[in-house]
Structure 1
């Protein structure tokens, strides 16, 4: 593992995860209206809970676990105390989260910081053991459909993926990735068809009750499987050069994941207050707002990273973690170099 080399596929996946996270977050933040029966809104609500809710958050959590392992490993390889730096890193993340939670009660940063602290001892545990424990916990908690607790096994699986060097060798293991993706597609299709049985009650306008609760709980249970399919599919698509270029803004979006995650909340509230949307916006209208935010954030990310090495909040995060100011401007090569 090269000490400072970014793993592009992780940035693409982070950006991809952010696209889905805002779709779910915006409804509660703007107090979107309850969908009317047999409406486009009701169809979109079902789409969110079938294909988006819990799927992208899981990918983001998994990647945090991967980053957890890579960060400590690279710090240790440079002769630094990776554990101390990591503890400082998650302390800063927790502070960001404490501020963010005042505006977004369901925010993830404080949860990630707490789980990172809990899982720190697993850094030294054998990778196969971490994999087995992670899968075992995921099955048990998934069956129980306790969403908040899913973070721990998913993050642990991310640590195991980092230990196996999964993303460093992924381009050399495309056949295995393809087989994995096909298997996850099959399992996802079965799970989603089963979940969809309970989605039909939403056509009657019932968003709460036993059937609706069952619909949501099944979604939590199968969430990691669908997330694994999405991840495998994107990795396969990124092997096609033209698709990789078309999706390049997604890589910039993911490189500035912390900044963009927090800015999503800011833009949602900005839209809400500017256009008086609280309690008045429909679910399908939240999609249009998200599309506008995508364009703004991706454009900003691409332009910013042409001139700077880190996103604004990533730079602050790094500065406090290492207790020194890292160079912000992107280095340019001298003529003839």
Structure 2
């Protein structure tokens, strides 16, 4: 031990002068600073299921937008001679060859119907000879539009109602919450059916009917967050400086409520789409000849035993939309609030 200590010699070269540059280099933060939303997006990108859902929904939305101006054929054009044709893309592709089992033997339905060569129906035709692929494109676009419009009602009414209730508190909050409880006690389906009986069935009446009750969950979530946020120091400081409640809501409350609003919105859209599909499926939704996912399911269900493909494709698209929206909403919830992962 003593020999080792003797070998260690301390010389002036053993010391280094510490300069301001060395201190700055040690205290320098190498990781770039991120805002709350930038950090949330970074966490969202790590969620593989949410990102796959996002790109899948983006493709569906693009196809829906394209269907406004272009579809392979007129989705409402009827050609009874081409009724119930099976899907066909090319020869020899299983399930898309234009062949069907008739009386125990495989026949070419396109040849039987004298369909011109080169005329294919990717998803087949329905009982009126309408192109199912074109109708599915239009149906998805209409269902997404209804979901978006119903969600806008949800945002406009729910956020405003929740902010007013939570901000004022006291007697105002009690009265507003009792109103919500009364509305919640009536089943949504009853309200929607009454609205559709009073007004002409169609896009406007369905959106209005869903907007009457769809905002309740949003209002409750916003109210709960507002009750917490209004006691924060920055809100108290704004009130001390004399800012109006509207200005405080726009500058301080809504930005801090944005994560709650975004997450609930992502859950509201698929709920509205599914509710519209249910209404159309039971015959009180979108009127004929317009196509939505619900009307396509209703038409396909009539011939499901013999022509199952007419129901499979709209059912598959509806399932994909519902699953993708829910997975994306779960990813957003985890990204905006990492505590939910624990």
Asked whether the two chains share a fold, i.e. TM above 0.5, the reply is no
Higher RCO (CA 8 Å, separation ≥ 6 residues) = 1
**TM-score of the superposed pair, with normalisation by structure 1:** 0.28
**TM-score of the superposed pair, with normalisation by structure 2:** 0.27
Of Structure 1 and Structure 2, the greater helix share is in 1
